[in-house]
């Protein structure tokens, strides 16, 4: 019997808030005729990302207990092995890593684990870059640089938030770190899918040139200065309190807030309110109705440096006032 064909794996990476979920949703919403298994890993103990992935036919596996590049690599191997046992179930695997993941150990998984190596192949590392903030992140985050260095395809995303000159500067910096990756300038991650998926682009030799110990190294650096604060409330939040609180907070503390995201319940409101932020830029939209069996619990996650968990909790709780 001929061996089963190897399944391509695409790793989506990029710093916090760059647009990875936006790209994933774009892929899943398109009529591509393929069946993808999706693995989402996020930072922060309450899962929000997997809840923001479009309701597609694809199965989404969540990994919320740690960073994919550290503690949960064993979980990744187990999920992939589990997937492999279901014959003919899907054509390819897409992994969305947390914005803080170093892609090297994730990529390494596909070469060092025998079982995994026999069944799947790393097709490409696709890195989404937030053009507005990438230069600041390159100055203070080793992971941001690794994500660019390891990429096979790079989306220079959020082109609407920079001038033409700034975009050229971003291009120059990125090409200085990685001259091999294909670059695409994008708005909301709009890119033809064939530029991202099943490219057969991952080149182990190139990686070994950047990181000669790639296949043997087991530990890597991690930015411990970044932490998360997760808040939940089963009492609906008053929008007239919550929105000004968040605006004030991001105005004052935005420098340290690398990312915030939340799914919120407002009193007598049938729709979920989704809030997203990167530093001072925040966006809120009503998304979809709460499902009848879905608990109307508000969840909000902050990821950043020097976060004052007690003050955040207090501010959040002050927005949750039972309607009398």
Ligand X SMILES: Nc1nc2c(ncn2[C@@H]2O[C@H](COP(=O)(O)OP(=O)(O)OP(=O)(O)O)[C@@H](O)[C@H]2O)c(=O)[nH]1
Tokens of 254: 């935005």
20 binds ligand X (CB under 6 A): yes
Distance CA 231, CA 225 (A): 20
Sole binder of ligand X in the list 10, 109, 157, 230 (CB under 6 A):
157
What does the buried/exposed string (b/e) look like for 162-191 if buried means 16 or more CB atoms within 10 Å of the residue's CB?
beeeebeebbeebeebbeebebbbbeebeb
Tokens of 221: 């650096």
Smallest gap from Cβ 259 to ligand X, in A, equals 5
Stretch that binds ligand X, among 16-24, 70-78, 226-234, 291-299 (CB under 6 A): 16-24
d(CA 302, CA 221): 22
Which residues share a beta bridge with 286? Answer: 273
**Choices 140-148, 155-163, 223-231, 306-314 (CB under 6 A): range interacting with ligand X:** 155-163
Answer yes or no whether residue 17 interacts with ligand X by CB under 6 A. yes
Among 7, 11, 18, 263, binds ligand X (CB under 6 A): 18
Task: Give whichever of 22 and 108 is closer to ligand X, judged by the CB atom.
Answer: 22
Say whether residue 324 binds ligand X (CB under 6 A).
no
The DSSP letter of residue 116 is H
Min dist. Cβ of residue 276 to ligand X (A):
3
Interface with ligand X includes 304 (CB under 6 A)? no
For ligand X, the closer CB: 18 or 201: 18
Q: Does 250 bind ligand X (CB under 6 A)?
A: no
Pairing of β 59-63 and β 36-41: parallel
Cβ partners under 8 Å of residue 239, min gap 6: 266, 269, 273
Of 8, 9, 21, 214, the one binding ligand X (CB under 6 A) is 21
Q: How far is CA 158 from CA 20, 129, 293, 320, in A?
A: 12, 8, 36, 33
How many residues bind ligand X (CB under 6 A)? The answer is 23
| Shortest spacing between CB 62 and ligand X, in angstroms | 13
Answer for which of 49, 102, 113, 143 binds ligand X (CB under 6 A) is 49
Closest CA to 87 of 42, 31, 140, 37: 37
Indicate whether 279 belongs to the interface with ligand X (CB under 6 A): no
Of the pair 25, 121, the CB lying nearest ligand X is at 25
- Measured between alpha carbons, how far is residue 315 from residues 122, 237, 251, 319 in Å? 44, 11, 15, 7
> CA 48 to CA 27: how far, in whole Å?
19
Q: If we measure between CA atoms, which residue out of 100, 111, 70, 93 comes closest to residue 208?
A: 111
Pick from 144, 149, 183, 191: which is nearest to 167 by CA? Answer: 183
CB of 155 to ligand X, least distance (A): 9
Q: Taking the alpha carbons of 82, 88, 89, 90 in that order, is the dihedral positive or negative?
A: positive
In this complex, which beta carbon is closest to ligand X, that of residue 158 or of residue 296? Answer: 158
Q: Which is nearer to ligand X, 9 or 24 (CB)?
A: 24
What 3-state class would DSSP assign to 47?
Answer: coil
Q: How far is the CB of 73 from ligand X (least distance, A)?
A: 19
Q: Which stretch binds ligand X (CB under 6 A): 145-153, 158-166, 169-177, 231-239?
A: 158-166
Mask for 113-152, x = binds ligand X (CB under 6 A): ---------------x------------------------
Residues that bind ligand X (CB under 6 A): 14, 16-22, 42, 49, 99, 128, 157-158, 160-161, 187-189, 259, 261, 276, 283
């Amino acid at each position: 019997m001929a061996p089963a064909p190897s399944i391509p794996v695409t790793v989506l990476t990029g710093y916090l808030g760059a647009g990875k979920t936006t790209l994933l949703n774009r892929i899943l919403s398109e009529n591509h005729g393929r069946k993808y298994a999706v693995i989402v890993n996020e930072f922060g103990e309450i899962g929000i990302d997997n809840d923001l992935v479009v309701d597609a036919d694809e199965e989404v596996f969540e990994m919320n207990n740690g960073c994919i590049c550290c503690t949960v690599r064993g979980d990744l191997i187990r999920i992939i092995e589990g997937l492999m046992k279901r014959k003919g179930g899907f054509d390819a695997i897409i992994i969305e890593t947390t914005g803080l993941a170093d892609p090297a150990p994730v990529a390494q998984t596909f070469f060092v684990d025998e079982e995994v190596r026999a069944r799947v192949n790393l097709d490409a590392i696709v890195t989404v870059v937030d053009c507005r903030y990438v230069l600041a992140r390159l100055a203070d985050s080793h992971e941001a640089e690794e994500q660019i260095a390891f990429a096979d395809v790079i989306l220079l995303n959020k082109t609407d938030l920079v001038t033409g000159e700034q975009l050229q500067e971003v291009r120059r910096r990125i090409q200085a770190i990685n001259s091999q990756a294909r670059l695409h300038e994008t708005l909301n991650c709009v890119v033809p899918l064939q530029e991202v998926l099943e490219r057969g682009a991952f080149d182990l030799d190139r990686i070994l040139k950047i990181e000669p110990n790639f296949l043997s190294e087991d530990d890597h650096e991690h930015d411990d200065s970044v932490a998360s604060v997760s808040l939940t409330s089963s009492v609906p939040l008053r929008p007239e309190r919550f929105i000004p609180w968040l605006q004030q907070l991001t105005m004052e503390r935005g420098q340290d807030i690398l990312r915030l995201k939340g799914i919120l319940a407002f009193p007598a409101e049938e729709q979920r309110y989704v809030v997203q932020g990167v530093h001072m830029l925040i966006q809120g939209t009503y998304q979809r109705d709460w499902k009848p069996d879905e608990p109307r619990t508000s969840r909000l996650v902050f990821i950043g440096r020097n976060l004052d968990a007690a003050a955040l909790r207090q501010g959040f709780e002050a927005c949750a006032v039972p309607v009398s």
